[in-house]
Amino acid sequence: MGALLLAQQGAPDFPVLTALVLVPAAGAVAVALIPRARAELHRGVALLFSAGAAALAMYVLAAFDKNDAGMQFETNRSWIGDFGISWHLGVDGISLFLVVLTAVLFPLALLGSTPSHDAKPYYAWLLLLEAGCLGVFVALDLFLFFVMFEIVLVPMYFLIGGWGYARRVYAAVKFFLFTMFGSALMLVGIVALAYLHRDGVEDQNRAEAAELLAEQEDTQAVPPDVQDQVAELQADAPLSFDLVEIAEARTVTDESSGANPFDWTAARWIFLAFALAFAVKVPLFPLHTWLPDAHTEAPTAGSVILAGVLLKLGTYGLLRFGLYLFPDAASFFAPALVTLGVIGIVYGAIVAAMQRDLKRLVAYSSVAHLGFIVLGTFAITTQGLQGGLLQNVNHGLSTGALFLLVGMISDRRHTREIAALRGLQKVAPIFAAVFTVVMMSSIGLPGLNGFVGEFLVLIGSFLTRRWWTVIAATGVILAALYLLWAYQRVFHGEPDDDNRHFPEMNWREGLVMAPLLGLIVFLGIYPKPVLERMQPSVDRLIEHVEANSDYQQPTIASEGPQGSETQSAVEGTSADASDDAEPEARGPGNAEGAEGLPEARSDGG
């Protein structure tokens, strides 16, 4: 870390985010070049490059300015200049901890499980997957984002299909078809947005040119500098896929007059294209059906990364590209998205309780937990957005840890059937204790990380989506039901002959679980370092939504109870002052103003 800081001081333009993306990609190439005969090197090289990416992410976290709401560590270089495509990377408080989460989970997934065969392509695909995930979270060019979004699809397809369980081919194909369909819609939306933005810029420029010419007294003798400026404004505008430029220019806005789809403008349709792509990735009900199969059939490392990182591509996309690019359309569709999120919370919890396979139970729990994130995101309040972002991290830690533990059970017992497992607490108490902490984190026990995120989501969404929040709160109760019931059946009771020799957690497994347990406890007790780095960017995003839509955040959400009371007092004082001033304005000689005040009359009447 010290070497990185010195390198940054000596080279202030060091492209740390570019290095963050390219290091695991280079690792994938390095693993691919190692001969199969040197199988002992594959895992070590993969861990080395993944640890290098983690070190870069830790540097970004350490050097991040918590008071800066804008993009930091930016790199912006032309990539395909003719189409306005650039290698534009940056990170802010919204994406920072998703980058850190990704960089932490991958080496732990590499340490926590080993492939049953063909280690070389397995580790190469995992490293390429890591590069794609990191690229998604730091990309600030729409086309670059799409490329990274698609890069992620290929390695996960091969990991599920090549190293999964019995129905791995079916699960891999289903995963590929669902996500490819969503990506196709998003590509159409990206291209349409870029061209509409260019047309909007040209219209603005030509209107400005017309104003300049109208200001000239003699249109036949326009000064040369004005002529040059007019010619520049009237020229064709270049195409651009830059996220920040398009979002801030506000050239593609929702001017729709009502809810009738035939009256919608392009902004709403493009938002829907993005939203459907991300809804598949989250996944939102009813587009979730690929997730249980993918989770159940994926190898352990694949399940950890799928739950901990890949699903966050959808929730991050809804926030970064939904709210930021289309604040007006996002505000319009927010009730529908919140409804789907709440349905997912209740539906996922109920179906999870019915599962006989422990891994499939954890998979359905993800549907429920991600519903909370969508609820917090489209509540569009400071607490809701912060809670949703924090819950992204919490879910990655807790559910990633659960999949690691379920993978350890499967490796020991060669089954994940809940009915075949019992009494494990007596033969492996340390393993049971670790499982208990992680399970309680997933439930949302106070003092552990899950509680903080869910609590912020619920209080933030209660301000703007009250009845949705009331229904969503039942999901917390249902989570306790299905997880505690599963724990009781698997760990309690007397072990039978098949479970009597269940091995205790070993030192390698404990080493993998220790950082996850530490983060689960730390974020539950002291989440302030995370929240204070998120808040400036969250506040800036809400200001952007308020400035470009009809939505206004409740005062209590932005300023707290004291600010709300102050505003109410000011409004009350203003109203009293207005009432006091009104009789004076009317005057004592006015009969209407004197009504009810006979002592003020001077006519003796």
On the question of pLDDT at 586 being above 60, the answer is no
594 vs 129: CA distance, rounded Å: 80
Angle between helix axes 119-138 and 142-163 (nearest 10 degrees) is 150
On the question of pLDDT at 169 being above 70, the answer is yes
* Amino acid at residue number 194: A
Has residue 221 been placed in a domain?
no
* Amino acid at residue number 598: P
Has residue 59 been placed in a domain?
yes
**Out of 45-54, 218-227, 384-393, 488-497, least confident range:** 218-227
What's the domain count of the chain? 1
Has residue 562 been placed in a domain?
no
339 vs 285: CA distance, rounded Å: 10
Range of the domain at 365: 2-192+261-547
Say if CB 213 and CB 227 are below 8 A apart.
no
41 vs 22: CA distance, rounded Å: 20
Has residue 218 been placed in a domain?
no
According to DSSP, the residues that pair with 88 across neighbouring strands are 76
Say if CB 31 and CB 46 are below 8 A apart.
yes
Question: What three-state secondary structure class fits 235?
Answer: coil
**Out of 34-43, 109-118, 230-239, least confident range:** 230-239
Average pLDDT score over residue span 82-106: 93
Say if CB 157 and CB 172 are below 8 A apart.
yes
**Residues of the chain above pLDDT 90, percent:** 54
On the question of pLDDT at 93 being above 70, the answer is yes
On the question of pLDDT at 237 being above 60, the answer is yes
- pLDDT computed for residue 166 by the predictor: 82
Q: What is the pLDDT confidence band of residue 197, given thresholds at 50, 70 and 90?
A: confident
Say if CB 404 and CB 398 are below 8 A apart.
no
Average pLDDT score over residue span 405-430: 91
* pTM as predicted: 0.86
- pLDDT computed for residue 128 by the predictor: 95
**Residues of the chain above pLDDT 70, percent:** 86
pLDDT tens-place string over residues 220-234: 666 777 666 767 766
* Both structure tokens of 78: 């032309």
Has residue 329 been placed in a domain?
yes
306 vs 404: CA distance, rounded Å: 12
22 vs 153: CA distance, rounded Å: 18
- pLDDT computed for residue 573 by the predictor: 52
pLDDT tens-place string over residues 282-293: 889 888 889 989
User: Higher pLDDT residue, 263 or 7?
Assistant: 263
pLDDT tens-place string over residues 538-548: 999 999 898 88
Angle 208-211-214 (CA atoms, 0-180°, nearest 5)?
Answer: 155
On the question of pLDDT at 391 being above 90, the answer is yes
Has residue 492 been placed in a domain?
yes
Average pLDDT score over residue span 191-202: 87
The most confident of 157-166, 256-265, 558-567, by mean pLDDT: 157-166
Return mean pLDDT, the chain.
85
Three-state SS for 286-333 is CCCCHHHHHHHHCCHHHHHHHHHHHHHHHHHHHHHHHHCCCHHHHHHH
On the question of pLDDT at 585 being above 60, the answer is no
- pLDDT computed for residue 595 by the predictor: 37
On the question of pLDDT at 1 being above 50, the answer is no
Has residue 235 been placed in a domain?
no
**Out of 353-357, 486-490, 568-572, least confident range:** 568-572
Question: What three-state secondary structure class fits 219?
Answer: coil
DSSP output for 31-98: HHHS-GGGHHHHHHHHHHHHHHHHHHHHHHHHH--TT--S-EEEEEEEEEGGGTEEEEEEE-TTTHHH
- pLDDT computed for residue 218 by the predictor: 63
Judged by phi (left if over 0) then psi (alpha if -120 to 50, else beta), residue 116 lies in: alpha
- pLDDT computed for residue 519 by the predictor: 95
Has residue 276 been placed in a domain?
yes
Average pLDDT score over residue span 34-53: 89
According to DSSP, the residues that pair with 589 across neighbouring strands are none
